[in-house]
A = this chain, B = another copy of it.
Amino acid sequence: MLKFFSKPARASAFLLSCLASSIACAADTTYPDAAASDPAKMGWMVGSPPPPDRIIRFADGSYFKFPAMRWSVSNFRQLMPTTNVSRGLGAPVPLNRALRKDIDALTFTPTGASKPMTWEQSLAANYTDGIVVLHRGKVVYERYFGVLNPQKQHAAMSVTKSVVGTMGAMLVADGTLDANKKIVDYIPELAKSAFANATLRQVLDMTTGLKFSEDYADPNAEVWQHAMAGNPLPKLADYTGPQTYMEYLQTVQPSGEHGKAFAYKTVNSDVLGWVIARVTGRNVAQLLSERIWQRVGAEQDAYFTVDSIGTPFAGGGLNAGLRDLARFGEMIRNDGKYLGQQIVPKAVVDDIRAGGDKQAFAQAGYDQLKGGSYRNMWWVTHNPDGAFMARGVYGQRIYIDPKAEMVIVRFASNPIASNSANDPVTIPAFEALAKQLITHPQ
């Protein structure tokens, strides 16, 4: 059962830790299904004032409790401070559309299941809030549920990491950063932390050896300290720990050797964000605006949640429009080229697609991602289509299938944080659609 703490700072620490990670925030339990937990039907925050049992507040932690969380993921800026990712002031470039009617009826068999499921059924099974499919750059499918619509931004959770990882790799490609350099060479303040002697490459690929537990059942887990430090709001009177992400990162201690095993730890992304800010003079929100958001014809600004000194949460703070994240994904699928401009160097996309160290990845034991790897904060399947993805808790995903010329972006609010809860449906569904697009390109 999900448990909430009565004190505000505890509740917010809980939230931020969930945001930060792919580890489940809830243990085994049963939850109302997508229809029963539909945030629009539940009437969250409707009325002036809303009925008491339909109010979602930050201070009491109610906002991250399922099913209220299904409203919150489309309304983070209303709950906490944020910083803008400007799309610029020009005209958006509309996505071309060629909607297909054959997708909803597509069938596949979920991993471990005995019966097939339709694509349409998979949307509810995964508590989908919004999903868009591009084929050869055109929108072939687009759906919104609950309180999400095309004019809103949804939490991307750890999909953020892949966006930040892409920017890090861009800076390596243009020589601004050297992947073989040690982190301490960029951030002297990290000299006494585990990151000091890690290379930037190890951070980008999360093969650092860090004492950083994301076990929420353990009140002494480091993830609590990270979340509390990142909390931008007033701390409890007795709180004496780090006040910012940067202060927290300096306290992370080593565990094991760097470079040996893949270990998914959010703090790597925060360190990358810090390195990016130090060398470019721009935080990840500003850089994302300048280098990407203003160049892909985005129709909405995006935003990041921030800590008490305005540091964007590089490990999980991005919120964006569904179609804009699809523009980003399509740009990556096209080797970094979009709207006639080379936005991300082709070498960066080639490097992601080639993937990381498979042996290092295998040690992390992701059953449903066997044979995969992790590179520049992207998950690489190494399946026959060469698919790779960005993954965020509660079902957020960018899925790029080069062979099928397909990009899927999904926002969701699954009651279970870990993607291992939705992968048995998600992966076969996405693979089946890829196959359909290859065999019936229309």
Contacts and interface: CB of A to CB of B under 8 A. Distances in A.
A8 B239 CA distance: 14
A92 interface: yes
Contact of A77 (B84, B235, B244): B84
Contact of A283 (B48, B86, B235, B301): B48
A57 interface: yes
A77 B82 contact: yes
State the majority secondary structure of interface residues on A.
loop
7 contacts: A48-B311, A58-B233, A59-B233, A78-B82, A84-B153, A89-B151, A237-B237
Given A84-B77, A89-B151, A308 B48 contact: no
Interface in A70-84: 75, 77-84
Interface in A239-281: 244, 246, 274, 277-278, 281
A310 interface: yes
A237 B300 CA distance: 39
A234 interface: yes
A428 interface: no
A408 B150 CA distance: 34
A79 B299 CA distance: 25
A363 to B, nearest CB: 33
A93 to B, nearest CB: 10
A306 interface: yes
A237 B79 CA distance: 20
B81 A308 contact: no
A345 interface: no
Contacts of A79: 81
Contacts of A301: 300-301
B48 A278 contact: yes
Given A48-B246, A311-B49, A77 B81 contact: yes
What 4 A-B pairs come out closest when comparing CB atoms?
Answer: A91-B91, A48-B277, A8-B234, A89-B299
Interface string A169-184: 0000000000000000
Interface of A: 8-9, 45-46, 48-50, 55-59, 75, 77-84, 86, 88-92, 150-153, 232-235, 237, 244, 246, 274, 277-278, 281, 283, 299-301, 303, 306, 308-311
B81 A232 contact: no
Given A57-B309, A77-B303, A78-B306, 16 more contacts: A49-B244, A49-B246, A49-B309, A49-B311, A58-B232, A59-B234, A59-B235, A77-B82, A77-B84, A78-B82, A81-B81, A89-B299, A90-B92, A91-B91, A234-B234, A300-B301
A271 to B, nearest CB: 12
A233 B232 CA distance: 10
Contact of A59 (B49, B153, B308, B310): B308
Contacts of A9: 234
A81 to B, nearest CB: 5
Nearest to A9: B234
A55 B309 CA distance: 7
Contacts of A308: 57-59
Contact of A151 (B88, B151, B306): B88
